[in-house]
């Protein structure tokens, strides 16, 4: 079975992301096709990118980067739970992605977003970032509206149809994550034969 991390991408006080992330984790945990783990960037508490070298070199000088690398590397796929801030990605999530490179390569990504427009523009930005990180992002996404899926913009009460969309996203994610795990394993084997 593959390992999937659900990453809560906002660290803002009063954020809605924690409730959304827990909802994703609760639904995912009922599945038997992968193991799922919830990672909260608030708890990870990375500083603003402070490594002197490109992450592609993996010459990390800071313990927090080494810890983040060790935390992310074992996963095969990721669900990014993201709000949309000013038509874009929250700084904490972009920062966490930028700290690493090879740890993200040839892995699958899916998105659960929320905002005035369902977090659509944040996901658009993330899809471009995923391409540069050599990640395969799945088509299905969950777009939660602050107007209809949150009472008073803060109490998470998702419409029932979102669970079906989330399960479709997870189906796609597990399929791609499984295929890409084989790609990574073949790459390791090819490198060891040289």
Q: What would the pLDDT profile of 99-158 be if each residue is shown by its tens digit?
A: 999 999 999 999 999 999 999 999 999 999 999 999 999 999 999 999 999 999 999 999
Residue 140: give its domain's CATH number.
3.40.50.360
On the question of pLDDT at 194 being above 90, the answer is: no
Pairing verdict, β 77-83 and 155-156: unpaired
Residue 9 near residue 92, CB atoms below 8 Å: yes
Q: Which residue has the higher pLDDT, 189 or 7?
A: 7
CB 89 within 8 A of CB 25: no
Nearest partner of 47 among 69, 67, 64, judged by Cα: 64
3-state helix, strand, coil in the chain (%, to 5): 45, 25, 35
Can you read off the two tokens belonging to residue 153?
A: 């913009």
Token pair, residue 23, equals 């909802």
Task: Provide the residue range defining the domain that includes 98.
Answer: 2-193
C-alpha 132/C-alpha 190 separation (Å) is 23
Share of the chain above pLDDT 70, in %: 99
Q: What is the mean pLDDT of the chain?
A: 96
Mean of the pLDDT values across residues 186-190?
Answer: 80
pLDDT at 190 over 90: no
Give dist(CA 184, CA 106) in Å, integer: 7
Its pTM stands at 0.96
Torsion sign (Cα): 28, 118, 136, 72: negative
Neighbouring C-beta atoms of residue 44, cutoff 10 Å: 18
Number of domains comprising the chain: 1
Between 192 and 165, residue with greater pLDDT: 165
């Amino acid at each position: 079975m593959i390992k999937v991390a659900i990453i809560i991408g906002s660290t803002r006080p009063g954020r809605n992301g924690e409730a959304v992330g827990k909802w994703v984790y609760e639904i995912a945990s009922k599945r038997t096709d992968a193991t799922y783990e919830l990672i909260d960037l608030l708890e990870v508490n990375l500083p603003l990118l402070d490594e002197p070298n490109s992450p592609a070199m993996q010459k990390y000088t800071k313990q927090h980067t080494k810890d983040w690398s060790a935390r992310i590397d074992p996963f095969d796929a990721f669900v990014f739970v993201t709000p949309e801030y000013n038509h874009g990605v929250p700084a904490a999530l972009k920062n966490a992605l930028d700290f690493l490179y090879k740890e993200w390569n040839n892995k699958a990504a899916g998105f659960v977003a929320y905002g005035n427009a369902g977090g659509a523009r944040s996901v658009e930005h993330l899809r471009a970032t995923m391409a540069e990180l050599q990640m395969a992002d799945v088509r299905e996404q969950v777009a939660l509206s602050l107007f209809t899926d949150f009472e008073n913009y803060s109490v998470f009460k998702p419409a029932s149809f979102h669970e079906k969309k989330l399960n479709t996203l997870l189906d796609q994610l597990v399929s791609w994550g499984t295929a890409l795990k084989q790609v990574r394993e073949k790459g390791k084997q090819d490198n060891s034969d040289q």
